[in-house]
Amino acid sequence: MKKNTVAVFVALFGVGLGCVSCDSDERAAAEPMLIVKFRFDENQTRLNNLGQLSVLAPGNAAQSPDFNSISAHYLELSPTATTQLGEGTILYRGAETNQGGSTAIDFSEAKIVNEGEVFLKIPLREVIAGSYSWARVSLSYQNYRVNVFHDQVDYMATLASFVGFNTFIASHSLGNNFFDVNANRAQGYWAFALNGFPYSSSGQTPPGTITVPNPMSATSPIPNGSCVVTGRFSDDFIITGNETEDVVITLSLSVNKSFEWQEVNVDGKFEPSAGESVIDMGLRGLIPSFQ
């Protein structure tokens, strides 16, 4: 075989390989995905731990915070109301560590997203085919703006709320305010900083005060101290295994008066300098939907 013939053969063969590679990349790019996003709704129904309508306890006040971002540690689809936690299809589980002693969420590895931003994107082929009525999401971190009242003046503050079962935090920040923790923090640890002012503070809510709505608590309870919020699809979410297009699940979370405190001055304003303390930072319901 002549040299130029060999060169042409090699060139054509190489082009052929390149086309195979391109086809493979295109197939991978075209593979249908399951995409999960969050939405925050201050007008969504405000629920208690049992998934029932909730009202403020006497002596408490609350406000609907303006959310910046959120993170979750666990996401599961459950076929029925009797499916126990962990027995559905687990879509996501975040990193954990024993660096602080007991097992805890590793905050340094947390994926923190804004409203509408993609939190999870996985191939639909990884989701077990079936019909799912419920979604369960274990929320771990919230970052939002709240109004703070001091010396007859309203201020805006940014609050970091850690609602996971247990979180190891090396450090975290709010603007130019840095909080060195280097330890585990149980559910209910919070820190806030006044926007534009050199003031920050941190604290811990009393054990068991974080609301975690679970409408199927009678048939599928969650562990105490966890933050697995449960919500039902309006129509069952069905995976056939033959999907050809992306499917987007939106987890709509109720922030309806989700930031709650015990009042000292009964005026409906959060006034830490008067001794008013945070009592509850739990989201107030979950409505999952898909398209």
What is the pLDDT at residue 139?
97
Q: What is the pTM of this model?
A: 0.88
Share of the chain above pLDDT 70, in %: 90
Q: Residue 179's beta-bridge partner residues?
A: 172
Does the pLDDT of residue 10 top 90, yes or no? no
- The pLDDT tens digits of the residues spanning 169-198 come to 999 999 999 999 999 999 999 999 999 888
Does the pLDDT of residue 8 top 80, yes or no? no
Give CA–CA dist 270/260, Å, rounded: 9
Does the pLDDT of residue 20 top 60, yes or no? no
Does the pLDDT of residue 153 top 70, yes or no? yes
CA distances from 121 to 27, 88, 249 (A): 17, 18, 10
- Please state, as a whole number, how many other Cβ atoms lie within 10 Å of the Cβ of residue 177: 18
What is the pLDDT at residue 12?
31
What is the pLDDT at residue 7?
41
Q: For 67-77, what is the mean pLDDT?
A: 98
Strands (E) in the chain, as ranges, are: 33-41, 60-63, 66-78, 89-93, 96-97, 104-106, 118-123, 130-150, 153-162, 166-174, 177-186, 189-194, 200-204, 228-239, 247-254, 259-262, 277-280, 286-290
At 200, the amino acid letter reads S
Largest pairwise CA distance in the chain: 96
What is the pLDDT at residue 29?
59
Among candidate residues 161, 44, 152, the one with its CA nearest the CA of residue 112:
161
Name the band, by pLDDT with cuts 50, 70 and 90, for residue 30.
confident
